[in-house]
Amino acid sequence: MPKLTLNFKGQPIQVYHFDSGIITIGSDADNTIRIDNLGIAPKHAIIDLEHSDGPHLFQEDERFPLQVNNRKISSHLLKHGDTIQLGKYTIDYASDEQVLDSPVLEPESEPEPELELLFKDSLANDANLQLLNGKNIGRLIPLKQALTRLGKPGKGVAVIARRKEGYFLSSLEGGGKIKINGAILGEQTLPLSHGDKLEIDKHKMLFTMPFSISSSEQPGP
């Protein structure tokens, strides 16, 4: 399925996967992808994944510019690698065949109705996974959902649960193919700590928590 990655000032803040249908983009709360910013129209653009010629992007409000790959457009046939530009926000489009290479599958829960759109807010409130290898090396995946599923059937599938006590890793399938800090996860459920390294099949990831200063690191009076 196609993947859309929403970025703010070049930093990824949310990843979406869609099977089909019409995707609406804008500042109103009822949009599929909501961007709560004055520079974004209430109905800024739509993506028609079922268009007869292929996935099409359409501008919805001429007062608000829409660009793809630095070119102004009113409509555009989306291709893998295209970057949609809406003010300080961008949306990266990845086609079906490329998404299969990503270690991240769909979240178990629906996206939150209101996104934390500033990347600094994401870092302040949510843990992240940083991809350490592959085509998307360096990308950050915010762990905003209650459950985030990772991996592919037959090659190891893990889930990270977000709870009040923290983040916990467990296996759904192929626990012997899932490693944390070099050790096989197996059937355990383990709490995640800042700096933990995860490995699922060939994919390597780094777990990072929001920055904080421990009591032992705080400066004295």
* Mean pLDDT across the chain: 80
| pLDDT tens column, 120-165 | 334 345 788 988 888 778 888 888 888 888 888 788 888 888 888 8
Residue 141 and residue 129 in contact, taking contact as beta carbons nearer than 8 Å: yes
The domains spanning 3-99 and 119-208 adopt the same CATH topology: yes
Q: Is 72 helix (H, G, I), strand (E, B) or coil?
A: strand
| pLDDT tens column, 73-120 | 999 999 999 999 998 899 999 885 444 344 444 343 333 333 333 333
Task: Please calculate the CA angle 112-192-153 and round it to the nearest 5 degrees.
Answer: 70
Please state the domain extents for the chain. Answer: 3-99, 119-208
Instruction: Give the per-residue pLDDT at 96.
Output: 58
| pLDDT tens column, 139-150 | 888 888 888 888
Nearest Cα residue to 151 out of 168, 130, 175: 175
Element (H, E) at 5: strand 3-8
Q: 138 is written with which tokens? A: 């360096």
- How far is the C-alpha of 219 from the C-alpha of 217, rounded, in Å? 6
CA distances 70 to 25, 83, 87, 171, Å, are 18, 8, 11, 42
Fold of 119-208: Tumour Suppressor Smad4 (2.60.200)
Give the strand pairing for 166-173 and 45-48: unpaired
Fold of 3-99: Tumour Suppressor Smad4 (2.60.200)
